Amino acid sequence: MIICSSLSDLEQAISSLSNDCKIGLVPTMGALHQGHISLVKTAFKYTDTVIVSIFVNPVQFNNPDDLKRYPRTVEADCRLLEDAGTTIVFIPSVEDIYPEPDNRVFDLGGLDSVGEGPRRPGHFNGVAKVVTRLFDLTKPTYAFFGEKDFQQLAIIRFFTRQLGYPVEIIPCPIFREDDGLAMSSRNTLLDSEQRNAAPAIYKALSNASRLADQRELSPKELIGITVREINSNPYLNSEYVEIVNSLTLQPVTGWDEAAGIQMWVAVFAGEIRLIDNIKLK
């Protein structure tokens, strides 16, 4: 495994690859867990050359405290990646990614008008900045993103197509703990009471999925039930619960409005913000 801590290191590592090599890119912000490793394993099903980036992207944090709190475990991350057979690990500095102020404003097709978008102004524009920069630097054939960030995945697919990047975006299923909690780097910030409470999020989503199958409740009624179920736990407080068209990400009011329908949630456990989602149709 080659560890690249600068742009020149990365250029040298990539130049050592064969000309017809197809690169698989797994962008991460570090604090890796088995969910990230599942992305690496999936990448190796597509290509023999996998680059994993570790970069806590400051421009996608609208809350400075959240950026400060974000866990950083680079040495442990590299051990996990080496065990997974990663070809190249790219650990750039902020100056490497943004050698000058990046003032680009992306057209995200309105996909950022719901869900995380209004609650985290500028977040998805920041995601677009770093992802396109990584595409430019690594020139991947494939890029792998987890479905836990369902809205982010849709937005990345949109601007990748819109900007004409020759990159195939590969979605990867949510990787969960044995108790159902979606794996996230933020889970390490939970105290014991919060961690014990957090699986109730997926339990509420699973219950919503079962109720949705019966089609006896409207989406609005199902949202109300799910909010009450999550908030009944004293350690959890839902920020939002939405039911949306899986393609347009716009809210639906009836089950026949879209071929694919998703429920997504953001929930606070103390100050730690957790997101999750489930397919309803």
Domain containing 92 — which CATH number?
Answer: 3.40.50.620
Overall average pLDDT of the 225-247 stretch: 98
CA–CA dist 205, 280 (Å, integer): 9
pLDDT at 172 over 90: yes
Q: Report yes or no: 80 and 41 within 8 Å, Cβ to Cβ.
A: no
Overall average pLDDT of the 77-89 stretch: 98
Of 116, 146, 172, which residue constitutes the final position of a domain? 172
pLDDT at 62 over 90: no
Q: Which of 121, 167, 122, 164 is nearest to 145 (CA)?
A: 167
Question: Domain count of the chain?
Answer: 2
pLDDT at 34 over 90: yes
Confidence of residue 65 (pLDDT cuts 50, 70, 90): confident
Note down the domain range covering 271: 185-279
| 196 and 149 fall within a common domain | no
Q: Of the residues 24, 33, 36, 249, which is catalytic?
A: 36
33 flagged as catalytic: no
| 156 and 237 fall within a common domain | no
pLDDT, averaged across the chain: 97
What is the chain's Cα-based Rg? 19
pLDDT at 268 over 90: yes
Of 140, 172, 204, which residue constitutes the final position of a domain? 172
| 6 and 137 fall within a common domain | yes
Overall average pLDDT of the 15-40 stretch: 95
| The pair of three-digit structure tokens given for residue 10, joined into one six-digit string | 């990365």
Q: Which residues pair with residue 142 across a beta bridge?
A: 24, 168
Residue bearing tokens 């347009």: 248
Within 10 Å of residue 85's Cβ, how many Cβ atoms? 12
| 142 and 218 fall within a common domain | no
| The pair of three-digit structure tokens given for residue 263, joined into one six-digit string | 């429920």
Is residue 177 domain-resident?
no
Residue bearing tokens 């329908």: 261
Residue 171 DSSP symbol: E
Residue bearing tokens 């790219």: 90
- Rounded (10°) angle between helices 74-83 and 34-43: 40
User: Which residue type does 202 have?
Assistant: Y
Confidence of residue 279 (pLDDT cuts 50, 70, 90): very high
Torsion angle defined by CA atoms of residues 42, 47, 51 and 57, in that order, rounded to the nearest 10 degrees: -50
| 87 and 108 fall within a common domain | yes
Is residue 61 domain-resident?
yes
Instruction: Report CA-CA distances (Å) from 99 to 92, 94, 105.
Output: 11, 8, 17
| 166 and 189 fall within a common domain | no
| 82 and 117 fall within a common domain | yes
Please tell me the chain's helix, strand, coil percentages from 3-state DSSP, rounded to the nearest 5: 40, 20, 40
pLDDT at 58 over 90: yes
Within 10 Å of residue 56's Cβ, how many Cβ atoms? 17
Q: Which of 241, 242, 245 is nearest to 257 (CA)?
A: 245
CA–CA dist 211, 69 (Å, integer): 37
End-to-end CA distance of the chain: 41
CA–CA dist 258, 252 (Å, integer): 8
Tally DSSP H helices, then E strands, for the chain: 11, 9
Model confidence, pTM: 0.96
| 56 and 86 fall within a common domain | yes
| 167 and 236 fall within a common domain | no
Of 115, 143, 172, which residue constitutes the final position of a domain? 172
